Amino acid sequence: MARWTADAMADQAGRLALVTGANTGIGYEAALQLARKGAQVLLGCRDEQRAKQAIERIQAEAPRGSVEWLPLDLADLASVAAAAAQLRAAHQQLDLLICNAGVMVPPAGRTVDGFELQFGINHLGHFALVLRVLPLLQAATAARVVAVSSGAALFGRMVFDDLNFERRGYQPWAAYGQSKLANLLFIEALARRLKRAGSSVVACAAHPGVTATELQRHSPNMQNMPAWLAMPAPQGALPSLRAATDPAVEPLDYFGPDGLLQMRGYPKRVPWPSGAKQQAIADQLWEQSLRSCDLADPLVMATP
């Protein structure tokens, strides 16, 4: 089978895409490729200067697309609410949401709302964003939500009585694995609820394998990975882009690299991790996330 590259992407003219964390790394590359295909792209970033620098670079390389900054700090649920409100005020629909932004093994920290940093940014911020813009996604003809997870989801474990690592003490990699498993459990729960609601929104996921980006800035050993192991960001963005644009994508599809141990290569469908298939755990995470984000359930009638 031919390798899937960005050249395989269909024209995206007339589509509105929001990519979180799009000022750097695979988020930037995804935004660039969508703009090249003619999409209107919103960069969901917290730093205005870095967002504007990214916009200038994208506009220089992709004059077909339209690129704008959407102020968004996923570590602050009030910022997430404000970004969603701004989006709803400016647009009638949203065709694509790539939940890409994240942090990996930072020093111990808390979000503005007091959650462990990785769980708060990687999961809760995106959870709140998706639910707040769900009406815009449902207004589109064939909208997609793509969660960017990680191979670390394989060792993730949801500890519901200690999601913020208060009892256990902070363990950077355990917290990262938990947050990346949460990404997939969220998509599992969301896809079921969308199906029961008769929605055309497709919820799916991707992971970038081993890709050299700023994400590894808190892990010096990973920052110094050789080029034969760590893919460059443009290649690492391909699983997200395929999940976002391949016409054949179905709910709960998961894309990752086709090489050894899914570490590098070109995007293909990969198995959904067994830990992310547990509906009871996905439902428990959904309910706890609603409480944490102080949100009403927009799909409450669709739950079992």
For 30-49, what is each residue's pLDDT tens digit? 999 999 999 999 999 999 99
- The answer to whether residue 176 is catalytic is yes
Res. 6: pLDDT tops 60? yes
Which CATH number is correct for 10-295, 3.40.30.10, 1.10.3720.10, 3.40.50.720, 3.90.1300.10? 3.40.50.720
- Per residue in 253-282, pLDDT (tens digit) is 999 998 878 888 999 999 999 999 999 999
Instruction: Determine the pLDDT at residue 214.
Output: 57
Q: Smallest Cα–Cα separation from 171: which of 194, 155, 189?
A: 155
Q: How would you write 213-236 as a 3-class SS string?
A: CHHHHHCHHHHCCCCCCCECHHHH
- Per residue in 40-73, pLDDT (tens digit) is 999 999 999 999 999 999 999 999 889 999 999 9
Instruction: Report CA-CA distances (Å) from 51 to 18, 72, 139.
Output: 13, 11, 27
Residue range 188-207: mean pLDDT, rounded: 97
Say what the pTM is: 0.93
Catalytic residue among 28, 176, 254, 266: 176
**Chain mean pLDDT for the chain:** 92
Confidence band of 216 (pLDDT split at 50, 70, 90): very low
CA 208 to chain centroid, in Å, comes to: 11
Q: How far apart are CA 158 and CA 149, in angstroms?
A: 15
Q: How far apart are CA 89 and CA 84, in angstroms?
A: 9
Number of neighbours of residue 79 by Cβ within 10 angstroms:
18
Q: How far apart are CA 10 and CA 15, in angstroms?
A: 11
